[in-house]
Amino acid sequence: MSKQTRISLNSDGIRQLLQSAPLQADMERRTRAIAAAAGGEPDFEARVEVKGGSSRLGRVMGYVATATMEGRRAAATDNALIRALDAGRG
């Protein structure tokens, strides 16, 4: 016979975790590493923001974007951003 366990989530605790300073710092480190591996500044820039989502909890989100025409060209012809993703895995 299996015994069922009920779990009650603490929404406020989850929100605090998803928006915490350590999580923001980790996301900043990862996005900077990806931007550097793609070619670095000024061609690529890393951004980290706290945004809401469909769950209304909000969370830290990070992304790397092209900032110059050279960055756009490297992303389009050499897949620079896709090739740089592994740099953010550590």
Report d(CA 75, CA 77) in Å as an integer: 6
User: Does the residue 9 lie in any domain?
Assistant: no
Report d(CA 18, CA 36) in Å as an integer: 25
User: Does the residue 32 lie in any domain?
Assistant: yes
Facing residues of 44 across strands? 66
Res 5: pLDDT: 92
User: Which residue range forms the structural domain that includes residue 60?
Assistant: 22-85
Res 1: pLDDT: 66
User: Does the residue 28 lie in any domain?
Assistant: yes
User: Does the residue 74 lie in any domain?
Assistant: yes
% of the chain beyond a pLDDT of 90: 64
Angle (deg, nearest 10), helices 21-38 and 69-77: 80
Res 22: pLDDT: 93
User: Does the residue 11 lie in any domain?
Assistant: no
Number of domains observed in the structure of the chain: 1
Per DSSP, the residues of 43-84 read TEEEEEEEE--TTSS-EEEEEEEE-SHHHHHHHHHS-HHHHH
Residue-wise pLDDT for 20-64, tens only, equals 899 999 999 999 999 999 999 899 999 999 887 655 667 899 999
User: Does the residue 43 lie in any domain?
Assistant: yes
User: Does the residue 4 lie in any domain?
Assistant: no
